[in-house]
Structure 1
């Protein structure tokens, strides 16, 4: 171990101006095959610094420091057993390190030196020592009394077994001293006597110097005591300042917390205000729209325009997207109840007005065939469409807001207009039939066409020698295609084709016009918001 100690001092600590105080060969508690050395070292120059190192040997047989801790970082030491016969001990720094000492004597020496250095250099922040024999720790009072004043050139004594290596300066001083004594090498006793005389002379001078400086020492002590008193006052003042600063720091932290809470509250209030304003803007219905919904005038253009605008505003307000949590607000519930009330009132007004209007238009004669005596023409009801187009948006509103009223209005419109179209189309086909049979040409002569055709058929039957048969339908109407005879006039066939084409040509635009109006007026090509899939 002495050789290892010498090697560590020379290769590891001496280059850093450190002196090795104690060493112990250890391994980790659970990894006993991997060994290392725990060392306590102190700097040789001021400021004095004591450190604990873990040194390991590399594969190249070179010692290197693996870990290092300052003595002030040591928090506690646990000897595991107060009897001292165990190999285990713990050192707690930032975490607990568990060690297993190979040699008990090295373990004892290491822990004793560690305790002395802690007691000497860490009097106020000394770590806790647990489970160590009392004889290892010793009397702390005796240890303090044995301390001596450090004089220039004083070297701190270390354990007897420490190997002290002479520095270069010490070697030079020793050579100089040997050169001054010629008999130092040949006569060692004479050399020792001279050294003893010189030492006694120096001791006497030191004693005289101490006695002569007794008064100065007393003055120095008084000044030191005064300095200590001043230092205590300064320390007390610093403590008071520290307390004030701590109080200020706590107050500032509380103020920061309060400011943060106030800022959060302000942000929440702003968000709440913004959300409430948004809800109010969505659910607010101007007073003029309210009056238009309650007392609607659908007979005048101005009143109709106001009613359409009020209906759109009510539709937008009732379909506004509002957060589900805000829907439960009492004010929102009350406003929605008002909306439902206005919607019901407005829907009844529209239904009543349009219902009466549909019935009136269905009963109105309008254009009839009497105005088109010369040509076969089916009356077009564009005037009815134009009159109803101004109510298109109201019908769309009914489809979106009141599906029951919308369905009832469609039925009333269908029943009313079907009567009108049924009448017109019946007259139209009757006129077409008359034009095919040629009766319109003979009306002005005063003789019925049926009698003439019957007489003609009787004459033809007699010419063929057969009995007279009952009259057959005239022309091509009422006959199947296989009953058409050769004697049917070609002009009559041509007239039949022309009348049929004319009838079909008149029916198509009327049907398309009515279809386009119904799709636009009743919004048949758009799903209502109440009928979304």
Structure 2
């Protein structure tokens, strides 16, 4: 125990300045025996703070560590479990109950005795002890007194309870001591001095009390005199009150009559004001009443009159009046009259608008086919101008009857979609006629198309539209397709913009209920299209987008059908279509983004996505064709077939993309195709064993090099250099392997000379060897007379003719190489 005590005091509590008072080895009751040490300690700070700490030995090593700490002031109950029988179990209740079992009853009693003493000395007995025998806490055992001094259970002097003097009390005490410092030595004289001072103070107090009694008697006399005077005043006031009693009654009667008169005047004034208010606010002029009763909307002037009338009617019906006024017969009749008038005009107006929508939907479109054969979309400016006159009435209807207003966009969409469907169908039929007509007439029509004025005031997006159509054949056809498609887009964009602007103005008027009535002479398609530069909103309303989708439901399909027709006319038309859509889309996005063109841009993006998909599919198809290319073993290879397809694609695409800067897709396609071409040349030239592979590669790489040199494509410049390099390599291999030894014996002689030189024989000594002497050289030369040389050259020529393909005309190419090779051999020898 002493060893544990010393370790805990030295290692655990001394570093923090705490003092250990008592310990006990315990474990939790009813659980696996896991020993801990309960310690009672005194904190380092003042005033005295007592704690109960649980310490446990670390899992490894001899070190102890704290696991729990409770202030003793929070301890509420100590339960010894059994008062008449020794047991090591006990309970301590803080906020919760902790049940412990000590290693022995003595350790338990020692711990409880310490707690009891600290409770009486420092905690004023606030801890309750139950089931604890009195002898275990009150008796002092000799053995414990011998082992431990009283200091172990006694807090040091500076820690005991005492009441310290305040600074003011200390200062007064010091002052008193200083004043009587000479008398401190003689305490008897000092006490006598204090007694005399106290006696003097008592005498002064007695005199003060006596003098105050005389003053009180004098004050009572003054009060009695004042009461007598008050009684006289009251008698005088009673006399005056009796004299004025009659006059007071008369004045009260006059005041009551005056107040009644003022109340009557006030009520009459308020009543008159209310009557004037009701008459003024609930009165609808005869002019407005007649305009609403007739419901005539046939002319712009009458429409303006009805717009002003519904404004006045709305003001009358929205007057804020008290609920009691509505029970008045005149007010109730007037409100019923207004409501009936509103419903009648509302029904008439809705019927009139619906009739206009139906008439416009049934409108004739034969005038779309202009006699001058120009590709122009009909203008809807007149239709929009007529309907925009009803914007104030639409605003009024939206505010008064939203349910009825919500049906009008559906009616408009249903009828106008039919009109636009017919117009767009005829417009694209005209475009397909220009696309499929003979070249001469097509050029004439396109000249008119390019020079015809557009409906929108904006300048053309691309200057190529106004250029004359040059060239003939397929290139001219592809150019015509691009011009027609661009003209279509230029015609459709203002159509979209004008319709979208009109729908926004007509079906989404200002929320303040007021809309300026436009002059019919100033409203046209151009002004509606130009309004996108002056009116901007963050984004389109979902209802507007849905209406536009339903109205122009056929436009996207017609555009796709037209693009399909272009592809049927020419297989590479998708390139010109992609270029046109890319350029137009870029110009549209470069324009400051406004809500009036957002929907058309979205439709254009869908068509552009389809065009890019078509381009990707065509490139993938061409790649597959190059990868899967096969040739018959009996045919002479020459230039491989897929190279011609590659050259055709590159030529057409470069012609189509020459006027645009957006070449990313084309450059990627070129890089992918040229890589597959190189791989397929190597693959196909090695599959046919009957054909000279070097000659096939030399011809094809020579062809590709010449083609790329002619096209001058920057992205394929490295491939052009690679083709030239590989063409030169295969040419050298062919010449060395097949054409390098036309005179066999002569070549054998020189090969032997080379061998001797390689073995270290000097050049001047080679001729002294018998096999390589000049006489032997003459003999070899004599074996090849002129006829033999001529025959060898003819055989060599026929071999070159056999290996080369006639379409490439590469016969002069191997001859210089053979000449240089023979020359090099002779000079070496």
Normalized per residue, which structure has more strand? 1
The higher relative CO (CA closer than 8 Å, separation ≥ 6) is in 1
Normalized per residue, which structure has more helix? 2
Computing the radius of gyration over CA atoms, which structure comes out larger, 1 or 2?
Answer: 1
TM-score (norm 1): 0.45
